[in-house]
């Protein structure tokens, strides 16, 4: 481990399977107008020699202050949290409005009518004006009958009677029109709410467009500033600390594992876990999205993988600061020798989920989750949790890796989408961009979304 | 007479109150447990940065500090953290984990 020198990157790059992708990526790092390197020697074929030049250039670079790598520790978390909070505030407002109209419904017709006819209330643009029309017709009739009655105003008793009955008829008509309108509106809103409110309550307001938004944020093209930032970071010497996420230091060596074709290491994976936790906390505080609790990649190593034997004692204190009764999903990356996968204990839907970019089913992991949740509830809350009806969920129609190096990015992407109740709408072609976005997120201490 | 009186009076008082009590409770014993189960004891002051312990462990175990992660109750231990900050108690365990790499 101590023998990691800048030149150690060469053999790794030699191993690249996807040369085109690697060249593209390398080109994006090297060929920037501001790079003295690019202007000095910018051959058409950005070969491996370029990279070696970069490494040797490191020594000159290291003396210069690295502007993008302040030692943010908890500030990265705070920033991510604040951002997510702001982002989710809007969603919460929307939901509150939705809930409000349901409450009004539950309050009964009179309250509802007050809401619907109160001009001070902001009108839902989707509300049809049918009710207004019906009320208006009734009012018009009443006015006309009143006018007719008053026009024929005579001391005659029969005239007074007809005037009164006309008035009563108009009133009845108005009331029945109003009742009809309410019934119609109520039926319409009920249909609309049962679907949307439920979704809003669960935090997955229509997972289609939501997932698409997440995907486009994560696969957005880098702008010049971001590219420049990445280029600098990838040139950093292995020992240099580039960022600190939570209490995880991200060094040049860790960062290099995000390069094209490289295998992700635990610092990168766990750095992302910290940021996903921050986002989930912010969203849960705002009342949107599932309440998630993340373990880092050493959870599964401790509870099972290292000894190939279930050992609750090793992780007994890992949940000392969380009450799992308030959690919807416990999410953790699983490291299996040379492979990354993702495991989820879904307390809300009562199932154990496992996502593997190579589609294997890890019975040991599923069994471990099953035993752990029972043990932890017994230990922390003296609750005998019955999981006999809980199911194993190992979907085989998920996006899969088409190479021998992207499983870490896949595992993190599963976590990213599952933590938001989003469909897994990405695939292999998004991975190069996801790598860059993860790299940027670690540097900036902020997720794209 | 009035000269030496105030000095000795105030000095030992401070020492007496704190020294005896903190000397004992200020030091705690921490187990550092490797993945293979090896257990090394360290005595460290509650307010000493844990980098001392971490570096001592690494030199003893012959590993590079950048190649291992120190974990306490599931949280990463940073070098500048102290036992006090992490609310460690006498006899607590720190786990040492090796780097994890995966791709296929």
The model's pLDDT over A411-445, given as tens digits with 9 standing for 90+, comes to 999 999 999 999 999 999 999 999 999 999 999 99
- Identify the pLDDT of residue A39: 38
- Identify the pLDDT of residue A84: 76
- Identify the pLDDT of residue A161: 77
- What 3-state DSSP class applies to A85? helix
Give the closest-approach CA distance of B84 to chain A in angstroms.
16
Give the closest-approach CA distance of B42 to chain A in angstroms.
20
Task: Delimit the domains of chain B by residue range.
Answer: 27-98
Give the closest-approach CA distance of B43 to chain A in angstroms.
22
Residues 6+ apart with CB under 8 A from A217: A448, A449
8 Å CB contact of A239 and B102: no
Q: Are B76 and A246 in contact (CB under 8 A)?
A: yes
Q: Residues of B with CB below 8 A from A264's CB?
A: 101-103
Options 3.30.365.10, 2.40.128.640, 3.10.20.90, 3.40.190.10; CATH of B27-98: 3.10.20.90
Q: Which of A251, A315, A338 sits opposite B104 (nearest CB)?
A: A338
- Identify the pLDDT of residue B86: 94
| Range list of H helices, A152-223 | 157-202, 207-218
Q: pLDDT (tens digit, 0 to 9) for every residue of chain A, 449 residues total?
A: 444 444 444 444 444 444 555 556 555 554 444 434 433 343 443 333 332 222 333 333 333 333 444 444 456 667 777 777 877 777 777 667 766 655 555 444 444 444 444 444 444 444 444 555 656 666 676 666 566 555 554 455 666 777 888 888 888 888 888 888 888 777 766 655 454 555 555 544 444 568 999 999 999 999 999 999 999 999 999 999 999 999 999 999 999 999 999 999 999 999 999 999 999 999 999 988 899 999 999 999 999 988 899 999 999 999 999 999 999 999 999 999 999 999 999 999 999 999 999 999 999 999 999 999 999 999 999 999 999 999 999 999 999 999 999 999 999 999 999 999 999 999 999 999 999 999 999 999 999 98
Q: Residues of B with CB below 8 A from A263's CB?
A: 101-104
CB atoms within 10 A of CB A56: 11
Q: Is the pLDDT of residue B18 over 60?
A: no
Nearest-CA neighbor of A214 among A284, A267, A289, A155? A289
Query: Of A23, A68, A339, A349, which residue is the catalytic one?
Result: A339
How far is residue A249's CA from residue B54's CA, in Å, rounded to a whole number? 15
- Identify the pLDDT of residue A200: 53
User: What b-and-e string marks burial along A288-305, b requiring 16 or more CB atoms within 10 Å of the CB?
Assistant: bbbbbbbbbbbbbbbbbb
B62 close contact with A: CB closer than 8 A: no
- What 3-state DSSP class applies to A154? coil
Q: Hey, CA dihedral for A229, A230, A236, A240, is it positive or negative?
A: positive
* Closest residue of chain A to B62, computed from CA coordinates: A2
The full set of domains in chain A, from first to last, is 6-91 (no CATH), 102-177 (no CATH), 191-444 (3.40.395.10)
8 Å CB contact of A296 and B66: no
CB atoms within 10 A of CB A234: 22
CB atoms within 10 A of CB A449: 17
Told to judge if A356 belongs to the known catalytic residues of this protein, a careful annotator would answer yes
Which of the two residues, B79 and A209, has the higher pLDDT score? B79
* Closest residue of chain A to B81, computed from CA coordinates: A247
How far is residue B100's CA from residue B84's CA, in Å, rounded to a whole number? 29
Does the predicted interface ipTM exceed a cut of 0.90? Answer: no
Work out the percent of chain B whose per-residue pLDDT is above 70. Answer: 76
Query: Of A244, A292, A407, A422, which residue is the catalytic one?
Result: A407
8 Å CB contact of B69 and A298: yes
Q: Cite the beta strand spans of A211-274 per DSSP E.
A: 241-245, 248-251, 264-265
Q: Please state whether beta strands A329-336 and A292-294 pair in parallel, antiparallel, or not at all (unpaired).
A: parallel
């Amino acid at each position: 481990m101590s023998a990691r020198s800048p030149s150690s990157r060469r053999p790794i790059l030699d191993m690249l399977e996807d040369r085109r992708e690697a060249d593209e990526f390398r080109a994006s790092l090297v060929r920037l107008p501001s790079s003295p390197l690019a202007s000095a020697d910018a051959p058409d074929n950005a070969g491996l020699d370029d990279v070696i030049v970069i490494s040797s250039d490191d020594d000159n670079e290291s003396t210069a202050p690295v502007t993008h790598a302040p030692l943010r520790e908890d500030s990265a978390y705070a920033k991510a949290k604040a951002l997510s909070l702001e982002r989710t505030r809007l969603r919460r407002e929307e939901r509150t409005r939705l809930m409000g109209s349901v409450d009004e419904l539950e309050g009964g017709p009179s309250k509802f009518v007050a809401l619907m006819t109160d001009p001070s209330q902001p009108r839902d643009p989707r509300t049809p004006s049918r009710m207004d029309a019906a009320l208006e017709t009734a009012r018009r009739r009443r006015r006309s009958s009143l006018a007719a009655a008053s026009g024929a105003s005579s001391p005659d008793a029969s005239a007074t009677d007809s005037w009164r009955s006309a008035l009563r008829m108009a009133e009845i008509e108005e009331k029945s029109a109003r009742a009809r309108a309410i019934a119609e509106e109520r039926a319409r809103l009920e249909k609309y709410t049962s679907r949307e409110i439920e979704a809003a309550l669960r935090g997955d307001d229509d997972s289609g467009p939501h997932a698409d938004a997440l995907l486009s944020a994560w696969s957005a093209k880098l702008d010049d500033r971001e590219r420049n930032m990445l280029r600098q970071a990838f040139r950093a010497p292995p020992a240099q600390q580039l960022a600190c996420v939570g209490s995880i230091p991200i060094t040049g060596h860790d960062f290099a594992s995000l390069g094209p074709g490289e295998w992700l290491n635990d610092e990168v994976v766990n750095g992302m876990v910290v940021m996903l936790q921050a986002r989930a906390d912010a969203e849960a505080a705002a009342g949107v999205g599932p309440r998630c609790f993340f373990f880092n990649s050493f959870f599964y190593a401790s509870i099972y993988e290292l000894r190939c034997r279930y050992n609750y004692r090793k992780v007994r204190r890992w949940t000392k600061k969380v009450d799992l009764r308030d959690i919807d999903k416990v999410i953790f990356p699983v490291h299996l020798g040379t492979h990354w996968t993702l495991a989820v204990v879904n307390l809300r839907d009562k199932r154990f989920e496992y996502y593997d970019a190579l589609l294997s089913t890890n019975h040991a992991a599923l069994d471990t989750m099953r035993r752990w949740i029972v043990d932890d509830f017994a230990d922390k809350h003296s609750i005998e949790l019955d999981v006999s009806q809980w199911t194993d969920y190992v979907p085989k129609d998920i996006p899969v890796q088409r190479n021998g190096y992207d499983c870490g990015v896949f595992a993190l992407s599963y976590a990213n989408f599952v933590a938001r109740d989003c469909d897994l709408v990405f695939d292999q072609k998004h991975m190069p961009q996801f790598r860059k976005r993860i790299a940027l997120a670690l540097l900036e201490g902020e997720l794209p979304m | 007479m009035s000269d030496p009186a105030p000095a000795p009076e105030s000095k030992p008082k401070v020492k007496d109150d704190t020294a005896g009590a903190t000397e004992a409770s200020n030091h705690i014993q921490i187990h550092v447990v490797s993945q293979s189960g090896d257990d090394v004891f360290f005595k460290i002051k509650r307010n000493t940065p844990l980098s001392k312990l971490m570096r001592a462990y690494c030199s003893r175990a012959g590993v590079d500090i950048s190649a291992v992660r120190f974990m306490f109750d599931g949280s990463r231990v940073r070098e500048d953290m102290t036992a006090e900050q992490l609310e460690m108690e006498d006899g607590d365990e720190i786990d040492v984990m090796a780097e994890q790499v995966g791709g296929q």
